[in-house]
Chain A
Amino acid sequence: MPDVDPEFLDLPYRRLGEAALTRARQLGATYADFRFERRRKQNIRVRDRSLERLTDSQTVGYAVRVVHGGAWGFASAVQLTPDAAAATAEAAVSVAVTLAPLNSEPVELAPEPAYRGTWVSSYDIDPFAVPDNDKVTFLTSINERMLRTGKVAHVDFAVGQVLENKYFADLAGSDLVQQRVRVDGDFTAARVDDASGAFDTMRSCSLPSGRGWEHIATAYSYGAEADEVPDLLEEKMASPSVEPGHYDLVIHPTNLWLTIHESIGHATELDRVLGYEANYAGTSFATLDNLGTLRYGSPVMHVTGDRSMEHGLSTVAWDDEGVAAQQWDLIRDGVLVGYQLNRQMAHKQGFGRSNGCAYADSPGAVPIQRMPNVSLQPAATDVTVEDLIGGVERGIYVVGDRSWSIDMQRHNFQFTAQRFYEIRGGRLGGQLKDVAYQGTTTEFWNSMEAVGGPSTWVLGGSFNCGKGQPGQAAPVSHGCPAALFRQVNVLNTASEASE
């Protein structure tokens, strides 16, 4: 396990926490927590052969959250003195008092033991220890590789890196130090037909990871993909436009992770079910009366939630309410069996204990219920992508995520991809263009006939999943195998545009 960054350990988080929690207790808070955070971020973007930007930023701050008089109060600040921390606790109490008339449900939290400990995520190379110029050289060389083919007019390569440190303490005695690292990098190539004005783009199928710089440098094969994309994009632009209709789909994990995220991950968030997101992100069709009975998908569907898998973007040892990381089933044998919880909801709905899904995206943000790593489990025996394609008479093979959209109760979705390949008689053909697949969540997952085996399983995810007001961005992973779906509605997007 890497060490916690000594620069973070030098910050006065514990002293500020003691000052804040002491003041909160003096003012009559029945619950109080103190969360101190430092986030280092670096974003790099190489546009064609030029460095467009390389920015380093660091955010340091803290927040005090209280329950006072049965109501929540929250305040955040950046001044690193005990007096300021105590004043922030006072401000949190004053918020609870001011807004108490709006509160009709006294806040109660599910119990959780107090913990003391330190945890660091699993990575090999601290991205902030790699010389910037090495990074820029790497990105530029990938762009150059594609540009020199003459088949693409432009390439943009962007990399984001985050080092996140948190300290959590509460009145119950928890004292937790955590450090996480994550990286995201992808390139997008653009091909332009000057004469006709036709253009299209193709993005790498790389996905963010809870790893260090090794994910960019070696774990993902950017070079090999860069050698393929110019030809693939040329082929795509010359490919036939899809005939709309119903097709069997074999969906690669680089696309399926996003369908899981939107139609399962968000749909099983209990705060959505209870209406806490009704004004913004929306609600969910997977209501409490469906728990244990809803036939979400076919019997081969087994979906887990966890905050513990190695390299998961949502992986922690304790969440932002001090709850220890867990793993649990959300969908078993195709039936809805679980939700994502925080301590307040766990108590209110009688779940007993939170499964640790509270997260705040910055020192100034309130922890809200956010998604754990939500993953579709593979078949027990190995089933390859070729095996899945072999079972399709007329269908489409879907690779790489692109456009995504789903309604506010998580029923109706539409996705596109980086590449769609025709399948005829169990064999893979050439690319198709102008393709989107559209569906309704439970019908789609009930059409899943088979899942691939462990060899097809890929850990995908999102660096910036949006939710909440004020808006917060959370990183989250989704592992899944390739899977076969029968008779999914496929649109021709060119026809949609000209309707």
Chain B
Amino acid sequence: MSAADPGMATLVERALALSRADDCIVIGSEWSTANVRWANNTSTTNGIGTGNQLHVVSVIDRRVGSVGITNPTVENLESIVRRSEAACEGRPEAEDFMPLLPGTGTPPHWADPVGSPGIGVFAAMAPALGDAFRRAEAAGLRLFGYAEHTTSTTWLGTSTGMRRRHTRLDGLIELNAKTADFARSTWVGQTTDTFDDVDVPALYDHAVERLGWAETSIELPAGQYEVLLEPSAVADMVFFLYSSASAREADEGRTVFSRPGGGNRIGEQIFAPSVQLYSDPAEPDLDVASFVATSSSSSFSSVFDNGLPVGRTEWVRDGALRALFSTRHWAARDGGEPTPFVANLIMPAAGPDLAEMIAATTGPALLVTCLWYIREVDPQRLLLTGLTRDGVYLIEGGEVKGAVNNFRFNMSPVDVLAQTVQLGTSAPTLPREFGDYFRSISMPPIRVERFNMSSVSRAT
């Protein structure tokens, strides 16, 4: 927006006022971000940035036109609204058409300005990171990593009077430590809202402790192993499972949650009885938007559901599938209630901590820090392949014996959670692979009875 423009909340209102469509949905967003990246004990790329986007979704005769632009202004607003209206012309009717939800009134702070810490968010972290670089250099180690902080705000308005706003603070830090010959490597990462809770020396000490575990190198062949998956690894597997949990796709017979003969597997005992999974937009430290906001329809959501409240949703209780996500359109087919996708995921557990789980392991078992390059091999079984990364350790007799070579795995998250025999304590974690898209997640370390390590990887 130009300096003369009145703010995104007002632009959303003005766009709605300009609309001549049967219905109109306007979604505005603004964000500011700061990031720094480092390698070989020195910073590499970095930057700050701001951005915005305004989407206008017009509905005319059940037809949808969706147009988005950067930098909306009072001057260009009408052209965007008209373009979205013109886009409806001649299109087929939307299959997921539903009347828009009724208004909720304007929430408090609707038009308040959004602050941003800018590069200053790293003010305390940067010197500590510099100290870590110097410690690493002195110890003959190399540090690599990344820190990012984003403040983003979404405004949703509809022609039926719906007004919703959500502001989110979101950040992460990752630290990868290697020996100078790259033969040993460890990783630690965490999410953070403000960086006030980031303890760089503690992260460094953790990474270096793991490098110490790796001073003994053990070669193991491919095969079936008992594994302790650390929370990041659990998060990546469970997120893949969650992203496959569309009710529509299951009802259509094309996911692991499809029931032979039709329908889905809701109610079926699929996982170990100790496994629970839920989402809750109000979850402490993992709070996310409590309403649907989308400029296009997909298997995950419908434009006609904009503003739909998102509440606590139990996906798995005592190992039984309790829900799959669905839109209002899909749920209405059998008179059910919609179950919106929620942008966080929690596996509650209050078991032992990881050290206690290691101590209780007679072994042999593998401790797996994180996973990488996870892809679907077979949708019928949701068989996934991927790699272990930056820390696989052999545990025997309640102790870490040394670092093991990496493996390629072929394993379904369904089988992972079916063969889970112990859960540790759940805590917010950073999924190594899918943290770019989904990082409001709390997982415990888990013990899996059998995990298929398909082949050895030479990667270190």
Contact = CB atoms under 8 A, between A and B. Distances in A.
A and B bind: yes
Q: Majority SS of interface residues in chain B?
A: strand
Contacts of B298: 45, 52-53
B149 to A, nearest CB: 11
A382 interface: no
Interface stretch (A228-236, A306-314, A477-485, A491-499): A491-499
Contacts, number: 293
Interface in B411-460: 412, 415, 436, 450, 452, 454-460
Contacts of A274: 39-40
Contacts of A491: 410, 454
A78 B51 CA distance: 6
A61 B412 contact: no
Interface string A159-190: 00000000000000000000000000000001
A414 interface: yes
Contact of B455 (A47, A60, A136, A438): A438
Contacts of B96: 52
B387 interface: yes
Interface in A70-112: 71-81, 84, 91-92, 94-95, 98-99, 101-105
B101 interface: no
B297 interface: yes
Interface stretch (B12-20, B67-75, B153-161, B210-218): B67-75
B104 interface: no
Contacts of A416: 377
A412 interface: yes
A276 B262 CA distance: 49
Interface residues of A, number: 93
Interface residues of B, number: 105
A53 B385 CA distance: 31
Contacts of A341: none
A158 to B, nearest CB: 11
A424 B262 CA distance: 39
A5 interface: no
Contacts of A153: 252-254
Given A196-B260, A201-B254, A76 B47 contact: yes
A412 B187 contact: no
B25 to A, nearest CB: 13
Nearest to B224: A499
Interface in A444-499: 469-471, 489, 491, 493-494, 496-497, 499
Interface of A: 43, 45, 47, 50-61, 63, 71-81, 84, 91-92, 94-95, 98-99, 101-105, 132-133, 136, 140, 153-154, 190, 192, 194-201, 274-276, 278-280, 282-283, 285, 364, 366, 368, 403-412, 414, 416, 434, 436, 438, 440, 469-471, 489, 491, 493-494, 496-497, 499
24 contacts: A54-B65, A56-B87, A59-B53, A60-B70, A61-B71, A63-B49, A74-B47, A84-B3, A102-B133, A105-B42, A133-B91, A153-B252, A199-B379, A275-B40, A275-B178, A275-B182, A276-B39, A408-B372, A414-B454, A416-B377, A493-B410, A496-B410, A497-B415, A499-B450
Given A274-B40, A279-B39, A416-B377, 16 more contacts: A43-B296, A55-B68, A72-B46, A79-B3, A91-B118, A102-B130, A103-B42, A153-B253, A200-B379, A276-B37, A278-B185, A279-B37, A405-B373, A469-B37, A493-B383, A497-B383
